[in-house]
Amino acid sequence: MCFCISLQPFSKWCRLRPKEAEKVPESAWKFLFYCASWSYCSYLLFFTKHNFFHDPPSAFRGWTSGADVPAEIAFLYLVQGSFYAHSTYATLYMDAWRKDSIVMILHHLVTFTLILFSYAFRYHNIGILVLFHHDINDIVLEFSKLNVYFKTRGGTYHRVNSIITDIGSVLFSVSWFWFRLYWFPMKVLYVTCCSSLESNPDIPFYFFFNVLLFALTLMNIYWFLVSTQLCDSCLHILQLSNVSKQNINVACF
């Protein structure tokens, strides 16, 4: 709440339209959160002993149900669990209802369940990888949305923000495919389905966690198809606009 209030004078100073000014605090907050979360996950995976990105099967080596959760991972779980619990409530009772709201609620519930039970059953090592492969896309998304809101500030069109938005849209689609549809199945799903059984043949709740992870993958595929359809529609509109301009130029000539 305090963060949202602190952005109101800035939105007013930028002379944003009321509709855009209302959306800026949420996107700015999410952008900062995902930046901090993904950076922390990267720190754990690349600059500490938890180097599961380069050796994903090691996430299950030496697993025991009563193992202590390292404090640095417990902190990440506390923050992420709180965020997704609030996100579920916000989608249900605070945010405007959209076409994909049901899928969004399902995503938040699945993610929160994975966070809660992976911590309880000490699958926190693989949990870091799951978070790492998802948060980076939201950074690009929220940054692009902020530039959309700032395109028409002060009653004028700002080309720089439009270019950043276009670049962000491309980066979002590429990063979504690379992290969620390529690396995630390769570094997480394969490990949870195959490597976990090799290390621990009697690992508990094997099907429960893999069903949730596959549900997450299906939602990633759904949103990727939605985003590609949106891009295709935008390109079609742009082509029609160019044809119309050419026809006008010919008519004037």
| DSSP track, 197-229 | HHH-TT-TTHHHHHHHHHHHHHHHHHHHHHHHH
pTM score: 0.86
Confidence category of residue 161, pLDDT binned at 50, 70, 90: confident
Q: Residues 149, 167: contact at Cβ < 8 Å?
A: no
pLDDT at 241: 47
Cα–Cα separations (whole angstroms), residue 95 to 90, 92, 124, 228: 6, 7, 30, 24
pLDDT at 115: 96
State the residue range of the domain holding 79: 2-252
Q: b/e for 148-158, b at 16 or more Cβ within 10 A?
A: bbbbbbeeeee
Confidence category of residue 152, pLDDT binned at 50, 70, 90: confident
pLDDT at 117: 94
What is the pLDDT of the chain when averaged over all its residues? 85
Q: 3-state class of 151 per DSSP?
A: coil
Segment 3-24 shows an average pLDDT of 68
Q: How far apart are CA 205 and CA 156, in angstroms?
A: 56
Q: Quick one: DSSP state of residue 70?
A: P
> Structural domain tally of the chain?
1
pLDDT at 250: 39
pLDDT higher than 80, residue 54: yes
Segment 75-88 shows an average pLDDT of 94
Nearest to 158 by CA among 147, 173, 174: 147
Q: How far apart are CA 91 and CA 250, in angstroms?
A: 50
